[in-house]
Amino acid sequence: MFISFAVYKYLPYFLVKFISNALMAVAFPFLIRHKRVAKESLQIAFGQEKSEQEIRQITKKCFKNFGYAMVELLYSMANPRMVKNIVTLEGIENLEQALAKGNGVVAVTAHFGNFPLMMMALGQKGYKVSSIIRPVRDKKMEEFLVQKRQECKLNTVYAIPRTQCVRDSFKALKDNGILFVPLDQNFGNGKGVFVDFFGRKAATATGPIIFAERANAAILPMFIIRTDRDHNKVIIEKPLALVQGKDKKETIFLTTSKITNIIEEYIRKYPHEWGWFHERWKTRPSAHNT
C-alpha cells in the first residue's frame, strides 16, 4: 500500500492504468472463491431472469469495475486534485436544500460503483463529510489511511466500539455534516431487521434511520455510477421521508425496507456496479423473523 501511493503520486495516470490493467488480467483467473460467491449471489438475485452467459458477463464486468475503482481511488488519494476532473455531481440542489435545515444529512448508499470517490468529490467541494468505517488490523496501516482520508477532506467515524460510533455520528450531524452509511451488507449481529432484497430476506442495519430520526436529519440516497472508463457521476436523490408505521419499531422497519428497495433499483439498472462477491444473504432469519 505504501509503495503504491509513492508510485501513484509520481507516475502519469495513463501509465498507472496500463500497469493495473495488466495486473487485473493476470489476477482474475485466480479469484476462484470470489467469483463463486458472485455467481451464487447473482443467481439468488435474478433467478430465471438472466441466462448463465449474462451472469458470467456481469461477474466479469463487476470485477473489472472493482479493479478500475481501486486504481482510480488510490491514484485520487495520492493526487486529490484530479477528483474534480473525473467526477460530476447531479442533484446537488437536493443536498443544499437538505443542509439548509441545519441538522445534517444521512447519506444512505451502497458498496456500489466507486463509492469512496463519491465521498472524496463532496469533500473536495467543501462539504463536511464523514463515513462510518471499520479499522484495519494493522495499526500503522490504519494511521496511514486516516492521514490520507484527512488529506482528502474525509472524517473517519469508526464502526467500533459501538457507543463511540453513535456519539461521533451524532456529532457529525450536529455539525451539519454529511454522514455516509452503506446499507447493503449482511448485518448478522441480531440488532438489525430482515427486509426483502431481490425477493429474499436480508439482515439489514437500521442505524441510518435511527440517526436521522433522533437528529432530525434528512435522509438522502446517493450513488455513483461509471459513465465511461475515466469518468463517474454522483446521483443525489431527493430527501426520503420516514415511512410512518404504527409505532417506532415499524417505522424503522418500513423505512429500512424503502431504502433497500432503492438500492435494489440501482443494482437492477446497473448490475455490474455492485459488489456481488459479498455474501449479502449469509445470515438467515429465525422463525420469529419470517
Average pLDDT on 134-139 reads 85
Average pLDDT on 29-54 reads 91
Question: Count of domains in the chain?
Answer: 1
Over residues 232-241, the pLDDT tens digits come to 999 999 999 9
Q: Is 156 domain-assigned? A: yes
d(CA 42, CA 163): 35
Q: Is 283 domain-assigned? A: yes
Q: Is 82 domain-assigned? A: no
**Bond before 135 cis per omega within 30 degrees:** no
Grid cell for residue 153: 477532506
Q: Is 185 domain-assigned? A: yes
Q: How, if at all, do strands 200-204 and 193-197 pair?
A: antiparallel
Torsion of CA 137, 142, 144, 146, to 10 degrees: 170
- Of 111, 52, 43, 121, residue with least CA distance to 80: 121
Q: For residue 190, give the amino acid letter.
A: G
Q: Is 1 domain-assigned? A: no
* Winning range, highest mean pLDDT, from 188-192, 227-231, 273-277: 273-277
d(CA 104, CA 144): 28
Three-state SS string over 180-211 comes to: EEECCCCCCCCCCEEEEECCEEEEECCHHHHH
- Looking at the predicted structure, is the pLDDT value of residue 1 above 70? no
Task: Find cell 448490475 and name the residue.
Answer: 271
What is the three-class DSSP state of 228?
A: strand
Average pLDDT on 62-73 reads 89
Q: Is 273 domain-assigned? A: yes
Residue 124's domain is classified under what CATH number?
A: 3.40.1130.10
Q: Is 214 domain-assigned? A: yes
d(CA 81, CA 85): 8
Q: Is 146 domain-assigned? A: yes
Q: Which domain, by its residues, includes 113?
A: 87-289
- The pLDDT of residue 191 is 83
